[in-house]
Chains A and B, each alone.
Chain A
Amino acid sequence: MKEYNIVITGVGGQGILTAANILGWAALRAGYKVRVGEIHGMSQRFGSVIAYVRFGEEVYGAMVPEGKADVILSFEPVEALRYINYLKKGGLVFTNARPIPPVQVSMGIARYPSLEEIKRIVEEDFGGRFLAFDAEKLAIEAGHVVTTNVVLIGALTQTPGFPLSEDHVRDVIKLNVPPKAVEINMRAFDLGVKTCERTCLLFNFPWVFDCP
């Protein structure tokens, strides 16, 4: 594999940088050259956040170039649209379905687009594939909402063409979390893995995604 590009987006505080770090380590353990790009500072304060994970035989810059992302992994639906310019033709937008409306929306100065609208833009305007599921619900089912990022990562490992093995990623997560949280995180990971099927049923988009 020459190079694989992941853009991770979401809202500050959702564990995006942790997710990027986990995927980066998993790629390192798989023997690839790795670059992870992130922005700190204001990033935790519920603003829009983006991180990049790139790996392959040779990678240089930390940012995924526009039009080159294999996957946009989005922790919040509208954030996928905000960075849709990174998606390559045929790339996958994989998103948590639960919206976090910005204050501007509550105040009535901005509108929040629907999931269907987002899906249409991804597919029609950018030639991508779109998939959404409620990762947060699964995280709560696993034991704690903070594991949402692990649910998403678990699901990501099942996407077609994803080059890292489930076990590499699982091992890294195990090492990354405090011992008492390992169980919850593994449960979250497995729920994410299994969700592949469920997602297809839930959203009734069997054409988007080959269920294993």
Chain B
Amino acid sequence: MVKVTDIVLWDKPGERVLLLGNQAIVRGALEGNIAVFAAYPGTPSSEVTDTMAAVAKRAGVYMEYSTNEKVAFETALSASWAGLRAMTAMKHVGLNVAMDSFMTVSYMGVNGGFIVMVADDPSMWSSQNEQDTRAIGKFANIPVLEPSSVQEAKDIVKYGFEISEKYGQMVILRTTTRSSHMRGDVVLGELPEEIKQGKRKFGEFKKNPERYVDIPAFQRKKHLWLLETIEKYRKEFESSPFNWIEGDGKVGIIAPGLSYAYVKEALAWLGMENIRILKLGTPFPVPYALLEKFFDGLEKVLIVEELEPVVEEQVKLWAYDNDVRIPIHGKDLVPRVYEMTTRRAVEAIAKFLGVSTPIKFEEIDEKYKKVQEIVPPRPPSLCPACPHRNTFFAIRKAAGPKAIYPSDIGCYTLGVLPPLKTVDTTIAMGGSIGIAHGLSIALNGALSEEQRKTGKEKKVIVATIGDSTFFHTGLPALANAIYNRSNVLIVVMDNLVTAMTGDQPNPGTGETPHGEGRRILIEEVAAAMGADFVAVVDPYDIKATYETIKKALEVEGVSVVVSRRACALYRIGQLRREGKQWPIYQVNEEKCTGCKVCINAYGCPAIYWDAEKKKARVDPLMCWGCGGCAQVCPFGAFEKVREGEL
């Protein structure tokens, strides 16, 4: 198995390889001669970004980790306006951040092929909601492409560039967690000469204010253009290689995107033949001519799609307008929440056809439910040696359980779990500072208001936010809090990397895929904005961190404490690669009184309870040597030993 980055760049057309959906998308972009790629990482889209970062230099592609999705969208868009093929990638909630630009640009169109790749997360494996991006495509009148396999994920990118250029409009490439994170066999295609030689491409921008300036007079005309264009796509999709009709019979199933795979599998499992399938790679707009062909002679139809009834509504509207009067089923048989599975497809199709399922799922469910009662929960946790654990521990000790703790999106959201319980709210990237400020106003009033001083006891509010998130959308919120005389403590948990999505760099790191960028220091930004108190601490020194936070809490106004220490997972990965060791801590049984502070208040996953001896113990295979336990244990029971001595 060669390195993925090599495979993605392999000049071996016809070779069959195993790629992750997201990696296949990058290969497709390279085969499609992409010039510029910009994105902010977000699961499940992150590997598109990381894979591109790894090959960008060699392929002559300009690639950047932008600070947020809106900025990424604008960067890639400009390249398209300059005539280059460009792409941005984000998760579904990322599109909400880019939405302001996205909705307006839909009226302006593009020049070089421009793909907005959006990865949805049905079942919310690592997201705060499960919105359906196909509905946004429909809302914005932007065409949506959706692959049904890893092979298609690659091929559809090139197709996307072509049709985007043909009609001068961007296209959405929608994946889901499953298609982004599925590995499958892919046959490689040809790479263009420019990519093979790694030649950086440059474009040209031709001024045209009527097109690129969004004043009402211009945009009024362009809204019409938008509507005309989407109808052109509807025609185009009649002959799209990603749409087809297969099989024959009196009943039909429509299956967009990855649902096609589940439907095929379900039919095989049910042993059903004589079913006509409309496979749709273009869930919006649905090509009417294909519907006409598909519906011809059918007696009933089922639409198997994940999440919202986006295709169903289009099909039903078309059927009504065209006097097609046969039963059309969809969300009455297919659940509207969580991800599609083979089982769900089997159950829906079985009901639709009036047959029984091949195995009794309910029986498994019943037995399974009983088993789950004895299986202990295992939610993800902050890693051993995670600096966030220490920061939370210090904050809680300093501010107490009555303080309010708005937090943000990142690893540190896990601080919500016991024993730390230092996260009271999270809504979206950068939301912690906004919420903290709003609560401060609502509970204490603004510092500039006279009556605040006469008020009751001050509520302590401590917001936590990560470094990448701080740059993503924390900055405007911080400016707002300082400007409006808020009274909050903001702790920026700077682990020097965007950890949750896979260690991508950010302005606080300074690294870029093309080499050194300019590093921006969070404390300098906060000071320049006018924060009333600014300090930097090392969370591996719990006592010092605690004392600084105590001091910050006494300051009236906006205090910013930057708690800086490299992500443990990232650091251990580096040490392992370098063949280096790290210290391991152990419990001295003589000293351990069994007070359980290290477990019930601190909670490093490497520490477990020996129920027989009634002592805490350290799993040497999990300890990453931060020494935090030694600082929190009241009896000094944790002692350092070297790795290898065990």
- Please give the residue numbers on chain A whose beta carbons come within 8 Å of chain B beta carbons, in ascending order: 11-13, 20-22, 24-25, 28, 33-48, 58-63, 65-67, 78-79, 81-82, 84-85, 100-113, 117, 121, 125-126, 136, 145-146, 172, 175-176
Contact = CB atoms under 8 A, between A and B. Distances in A.
A111 B126 contact: no
16 contacts: A22-B1, A28-B185, A34-B18, A34-B183, A35-B182, A35-B183, A37-B183, A43-B380, A45-B411, A60-B265, A62-B178, A65-B341, A82-B375, A104-B378, A121-B371, A145-B621
A90 B404 CA distance: 53
Contact of B126 (A42, A67, A79): A42
Interface stretch (B42-50, B328-336, B473-481, B630-638): B42-50
A85 B364 CA distance: 6
A172 B411 CA distance: 33
A172 B1 CA distance: 6
Given A28-B18, A61-B342, A105-B376, 20 more contacts: A12-B380, A21-B183, A24-B183, A25-B18, A36-B184, A44-B383, A45-B380, A46-B383, A46-B605, A60-B265, A62-B183, A65-B341, A67-B359, A79-B378, A81-B375, A103-B419, A104-B377, A117-B374, A145-B621, A146-B576
A104 B371 CA distance: 18
Contacts of A110: 376-377
B378 A36 contact: no
B519 interface: no
B261 interface: yes
Given A60-B261, A67-B361, A102-B376, A37 B178 contact: yes
Contacts of A105: 376, 608-609
A117 B373 CA distance: 13
Contacts of B588: none
A42 B500 CA distance: 7
A187 to B, nearest CB: 17
Contacts of A61: 178, 258, 261-262, 265, 341-342
Contacts of A82: 372, 375, 378
A41 B125 contact: yes
B607 interface: yes
B507 to A, nearest CB: 22
Contacts of B262: 60-61
Interface string B345-381: 0100000000000010100110110111011111111
A176 B2 CA distance: 7
B375 A78 contact: yes
B264 interface: yes
Contacts, number: 179
Contacts of B621: 136, 145
The 8 closest A-B pairs by CB, nearest first: A47-B380, A41-B126, A41-B43, A36-B183, A110-B376, A62-B182, A45-B380, A60-B261
A104 B417 CA distance: 10
Contacts of A175: 1-2
B342 A63 contact: yes
Question: Residue among B2, B374, B419, B569 with the most chain A CB within 10 A?
Answer: B374
Contacts of B382: 45
A45 B126 contact: no
Given A60-B265, A63-B341, A65-B342, A106 B576 contact: no
A35 B2 CA distance: 18
B551 interface: no
B484 interface: no
A32 B415 CA distance: 44
Contacts of B126: 39-42
B608 A113 contact: no
Interface string B583-596: 00000000000001
Contact of B569 (A44, A81, A108): A44
Contacts of A112: 376
A84 B341 contact: no
A58 B185 CA distance: 11
B281 interface: no
Nearest to A2: B268
B381 A103 contact: yes
B169 interface: no
Contact of A125 (B371, B372, B418): B371
Contacts of A121: 371
Contacts of A41: 43-44, 125-126, 500-501
Given A81-B371, A117-B374, A63 B380 contact: no
Contacts of B364: 66-67, 85
B599 A106 contact: yes
Interface string B1-36: 110000000000000111000000000000000000
Contacts of A172: 1
Contacts of B181: 37-40, 62
Nearest to A172: B1
A27 to B, nearest CB: 8
A81 B370 CA distance: 11
Given A24-B183, A41-B44, A41-B126, A111 B381 contact: no
Contacts of A20: 183
A48 B378 CA distance: 6
A191 to B, nearest CB: 17
A24 B318 CA distance: 43
Contacts of A60: 261-262, 264-265, 342
Interface in B433-475: none
B42 to A, nearest CB: 9
Interface string B65-93: 00000000000000000000000000000
